[in-house]
Amino acid sequence: MAEQLTQLSATEQLALLRAKKISSRELFDEFWSQHEAQNAALNAVVHTQPERALADCVRADDALARGEWLGPLHGLTMTIKDAIAVEGMVSTGGAEELKAYVPSADAPAVARLRAAGASVYGKTNVPRWSGEIQTYNDVYGTSNNPWDLTRTTGGSSGGAAAAVAAGLTAFELGTDIGGSVRIPAAFCGTFSHKPSHGVISQRGYLSHVGAGATDADINVFGPLARSVEDLQLALDVLAGPDEEKAHAWQLNLPSSRHERLADFRIGTWLDDPACEVDTEIVGMLDDVVALIGKEGASIDSAKPPIDLDESCQLFMSLVYGAMSKSFDYEVGKQLGGWHVDWVTNDEKRAVLRQRWRSYFRDHDVLLCPVMPMTAFPHDHSKPMLNRTVVVNGKERPHLSCMHWLGSFGVAYLPATVIPIGRTTAGLPVGMQIVGPYLEDRTTLAVAAEISSRLEGFVAPPVLQAPPEARS
């Protein structure tokens, strides 16, 4: 029962709660049992406060007994990425400097989740200052992929994706500056959504000592979940202006451009010499495109008028500035560069964003890869800048795999990731659905339509392994 219940989508769990077929306390107990059974092998959830979460669940049950529904997340148990401040809970950002840091207030996004009725029981693992495509640090160690414990979860929301995949949480709140909710979702077989920049408050983001009071360029907060419906639910709760702006500003994200798959104009960009994609992954992406073409969607395989390498280089130039405070002062000063360089690159970004606006006048979304390979074996032998992976028999640097992520993030575009199946080696593959700025509901609608025609979320094999295999 525990595995079945905790593997349901958050939307399905809420339906059971509202129908009083389960209580919030019973749901928490199921998640906690799953945590105790699975987390030792995964090291996904790194800090917990079960007593506080249980008390929240009891209050939710008492409210429901009085006929009160606390909000759209009433009584759900969840976890939060350890790069996000949670009041009264150790929040490290994966760094030893913060290993004893306990915030006195929730990040605004966390406060929105609580106000909607969610109960937070734990924090999930991240790399140091969320600056890696693998998830490990000197505070909590390494998180393992539930599809193969010898492989990475991806980063930096790696603990989050592993927790969602293994049924340790209803859904998760992560962050993404260079693919940090998209890579782990693709590697662990979950769904995720990188919102348009600025749609969800990113205050309380722990990217360096003293961080959290300002917004980082390119960075966003976004959900990871087991269904598109859960992503939509989370976006509805999380989206909105910061408190200091809310008295004058409102956010009104437009509805999806269409509802039926057959009405969407879909562009595809499945491979590029600038970031060659594994041939098996390209074949799987092609199969999805063929499927939705048969369903009547308009497909355009012409490459967008964007240079993938140029846009990724622009991303790297700007993201180094955004992340410069995550390094010591001298390194950060070198990476951050001069302000005139940032202004120059920001002007280049304005041109790039205009090209995307033109493209999305004739296309509703763009389908593309997430990463050029599946989850790779843990490799902490060298600094990330010196590590390599092999794609189609060719060795390439880790950072050269960022093209399909940074190129869209730097333009502030929304992107939804869905699982589309598994390779012959049994590893998950994700697909990225990119859309026009502030039209998050369009990428989510296309994601829902495509996912309904695929297998959807599948529980990873670690859940079916005997206890001795998990130890």
By annotation, the residues acting in catalysis are 81, 156, 180
Dist CA 242 CA 198 (whole Å): 10
Which residues on neighbouring strands pair with residue 45, listed in sequence order? 124
Which one, of 139, 46, 142, lies nearest residue 95 by Cα?
A: 139
Q: What is the DSSP secondary-structure string of 356-398?
A: HHHHHHH-SEEEEES-SS---B---SS-GGG-EEEETTEEEEG
- The tally of CA atoms less than 13 A away on the side-chain side of residue 125 is 31
Percent helix / strand / coil, the chain, rounded to 5? 40, 15, 40
Which residue shows structure tokens 């600025």? 198
Count of beta carbons in the 10 Å neighbourhood of residue 291: 15
Spell out the SS3 assignment of 40-104: HHHCCEEEECHHHHHHHHHHHHHHHHCCCCCCCCCCCEEEEECCECCCCCCCCCCCHHHCCCCCC
Give, as one character, the DSSP assignment of residue 143.
-
Dist CA 315 CA 112 (whole Å): 30
Dist CA 80 CA 78 (whole Å): 7
Count of beta carbons in the 10 Å neighbourhood of residue 330: 8
- In total, the chain counts a number of residues equal to 471
